[in-house]
Structure 1
Amino acid sequence: MKILVVDDIPLMRHVLINMLRNLNYLDIVEATDGIQAFTLLKKQSFDLVITDLYMPKMDGKDLLNRIRNDEQLTSTPVLMVTCEDNSKTIKNVIAAKVSGIIVKPFSLKCLADHLNHVLATANKS
């Protein structure tokens, strides 16, 4: 499984990547913002995108919208990671057809549970 991890904060990317490696996900590519992520998505095939919500240049919601509006990428599962707990913001992300949302901080078990759910749902499609 090839995963694209998108976050503008290097420490957050590395924490998430280490958690993914602990769960035996080893094919991981990093991006620092939505623009870089979308460029990578157009050049390579990914099984899952895990993105932060708030980033400069292009945030996670704009990246999600671009993925959902792209004929070749529309079915790519997107897991949103955020420290946002405002229900209106979360509802907007859900309305944009995000595959799952994890609120920071989260545990390894929480990440594993969300990955299992998102991937099981994606495999049914």
Structure 2
Amino acid sequence: MKILVVDDMPLMRHVMINMLRKLGYRDVVEATDGSQALKLLQSTKFDLVLTDLNMPKISGKDLFMTIRSNKEWGYIPVIVVTCEDQKDIVTELIRANVDGFIVKPFNLATLKKQIDHLQKVQAQATDSAQQTQ
């Protein structure tokens, strides 16, 4: 699984990357903001995006909306990481089918639970698609 970690805070990126490595994910790429993430998405195929919500240039919300509206990337699961309780933005992202939320600070078990849930949902979707063929 190739994972893109997007956060403007270097320490938070490194924490997430180290957690992912502890979970056995080795193919991890980092971006310093949403703008850099979009450039990486244009040249690389990712299986998951973990993005901070509040970032300069392009926010996590705008990054997520861009991913969802793009024909080539719309399928990529996105987990939004945030330290704020902004109910209006959270509600908007849920309506737009965000794949998960993680509230900072979080631990390894929380990250694992989110990724495991995504993989379970994807496996169920694949099974359903195969049964209808």
- By the TM > 0.5 criterion, same fold? yes
Q: Displacement of 1:118 after TM fit?
A: 1.6
Instruction: Name the residue aligned to 2:22.
Output: 22
Structure 1 partner of 2:109: 109
Structural RMSD (CA): 1.0
* Correspondence for 1:40: 40
Segments of structure 2 that go 5 or more residues without pairing to the other structure are 126-133
For residues 2-21 of structure 1, give each alpha carbon's deviation from its aligned partner in whole angstroms, at most 9, with x where no partner exists. 00000000000000000000
Question: Distance between the aligned counterparts of 1:39 and 1:51, measured in 2?
Answer: 14
- TM score, norm. by length of structure 1: 0.95
Alpha-carbon distance between aligned partners in 2 of 1:113 and 1:11, rounded to the nearest angstrom: 22
1:22-60 deviations in whole A, cap 9, x for unaligned? 100110000011111011011000000000000000000
Rate the CA distance shift 1:42–1:123 in 2: closer, same or farther, 3 A. farther
Residue in 1 that maps onto 2:56? 56
Q: Structure 1: 5+ residue runs without aligned partners?
A: none
Letter in 1 for 2:122: A
SS of structure 2 residue aligned to 1:102:
strand
**Equivalent pairs, count:** 125
The aligned runs of 1:62-73 (5 Å cut-off) are 62-73=62-73
In 2, the alpha carbon distance for the partners of 1:77 and 1:124 equals 14
Instruction: Please give the alpha-carbon distance, in whole angstroms, between the structure 1 residues aligned to 2:47 and 2:10.
Output: 22
Larger radius of gyration: 2
- The 3-state SS of whatever aligns with 1:37 is helix
CA distance in 1, matches of 2:34, 2:58: 5
> For residues 71 and 119 of structure 2, what CA distance do their matches in structure 1 show?
20
